[in-house]
Amino acid sequence: MHSQSIPSRRSWLGEVTRRDLLLGGAALAASRPMSGLAQRGKATSLAYVGCYTPNGSGIYLFRVEANGELTQIKVFTTPNPSPSSVSATNPSWIAFDSSKTHLYAANEIGNFNNTTSGAVSAFAVNQANGDLTFLNTVSSQGSGPAHLSVDRSGKYVLVANYGGGNCAVIPILSGGALGPATDVQADVNTCSAGPCPVGPTKAAKAPPGSFAISGHNAAHAHMIQTDPAGNFAIATDLGLDIVIVWKFDPASGKLLSPQTFPTSAGAGPRHFAFHPNGAWFYLLNEEASTLAFMVYNSSTGSLQLVDEISTLPEGFVGTNFTSEIMVSPNGAFIYAANRLHDTIAIFGIDGAGHPELIGEEWTRGDYPRSFNIDPSGRSMYVCNQRSDAVTTFKVDGDGRHLKFANQYTPVGSPAAIIFL
């Protein structure tokens, strides 16, 4: 397999407004590491990779070299059975607080402390060398937590429990450790007309011959994150084919007044990303293999569907599962990962926010679960879950092209990568 380029009908950078580019540039500048972390000529940042055990061993720490290569420093794991050993079990999603002084990991399990719940672990971050100090682990209030994020106030960790079909709010205590949940909401109870129905088994907009039919047996929360202003918490439920928007109260840690917005039938909404302008909302549908463009109203928390297009090249048939989505730092492009097709799809964004598939790049691995761009904006790192490697790509053409850097980094079942 080799990379392909899909001709574009437009010059995408020319159609993005100057304001959008300025907003994107500001976001990129804000994401750059502090000079104390950069070792001139040696490294630009530090990276953490969460994984699935037992192939993976815990949370990996890497130094990002000037050429983009990842050099492993250590793995944070608790080898002996103890209450804290869960901190090294399936840390499949990891996230920082805004100050990057603490790291939180979703332990994607269903047997925490002899319950049917998963767990969330807290770590203090030594910003000088990247060391993690384990603080504590608490229940995620539902099995199989697949995603977590820290709200804009920095007071709570929001968790999406895939197996539990619910979302939880977990307070961050003084010192960064976690307390008992302040709220737990079942996704099925968010529809105004009664319990939300499960979506159809097969996605209406999936490619011909697709058997991407997992997940439509029950509610399955897949992602939760506050909007850019921190006023609403937005979650996806793959099994119910809905996006849920709660009013979020940071004073009480409560999810209030839910609104639901349906996807196309059987689409299986998974992850989403905001454009830097805060108004354009891009939703990745796992089972339809589609990208939905919506307009977000930050005053009401409402979403309006504008368009839905495939993440796959014209003529594709068979099964594919999408996974991760990201808007480029300059706001001109969208990246989306295809699993089984094993590519990063590249979309251009026109001046009205509409995406168009303009290229793709083979991930050089199997089943890319997620990816991320380093703080310099020069390199993308792809977590190939089934081939046990992180692959590195150079970001060229202001984000329009990805070029393989001939760098493979061994990590057992890598699932997520973030940068200090």
Instruction: Give percent of the chain with pLDDT exceeding 90.
Output: 86
In whole angstroms, what is the distance from residue 69 CA to residue 374 CA? 11
4-44+98-373 homologous superfamily: YVTN repeat-like/Quinoprotein amine dehydrogenase (2.130.10.10)
> CA angle 327-31-144, nearest 5°?
65
pLDDT at 256 over 90: yes
Torsion over CA: 192, 251, 148, 205 (sign): positive
Amino acid 77: pLDDT: 83
pLDDT tens digits, one per residue of 83-117: 556 667 999 999 999 999 999 999 999 999 999 99
Amino acid 31: pLDDT: 34
For the chain, the C-alpha Rg in angstroms (whole number) is 20
Average pLDDT (326-345) is 98
Token couple for 104: 């939180």
| CA distances in angstroms from 8 to 39, 346, 349, 350, 366, listed in the order given | 39, 11, 11, 11, 27
Amino acid 78: pLDDT: 57
Q: pLDDT confidence of 297, banded at 50, 70, 90?
A: very high
In whole angstroms, what is the distance from residue 85 CA to residue 94 CA? 17
List beta partners, residue 223: 236
> CA angle 316-312-147, nearest 5°?
130
pLDDT tens digits, one per residue of 109-132: 999 999 999 999 999 999 999 999
> CA angle 19-382-111, nearest 5°?
110
Q: Dihedral of the CA atoms 399, 288, 241, 252 (nearest 10)?
A: -20
| CA distances in angstroms from 45 to 29, 41, 61, 68, listed in the order given | 14, 12, 11, 10
List all residues 6 or more positions away from 29 whose beta carbon is below 8 Å from its beta carbon.
none
Amino acid 161: pLDDT: 98
In whole angstroms, what is the distance from residue 150 CA to residue 157 CA? 4
> CA angle 309-311-317, nearest 5°?
100
pLDDT tens digits, one per residue of 344-393: 999 999 999 999 999 999 999 999 999 999 999 999 999 999 999 999 99
Contact 412, 388 (CB under 8 A): yes
Amino acid 87: pLDDT: 67
Per domain, the residue ranges of the chain are 4-44+98-373
Instruction: Give percent of the chain with pLDDT exceeding 70.
Output: 87
Amino acid 85: pLDDT: 61
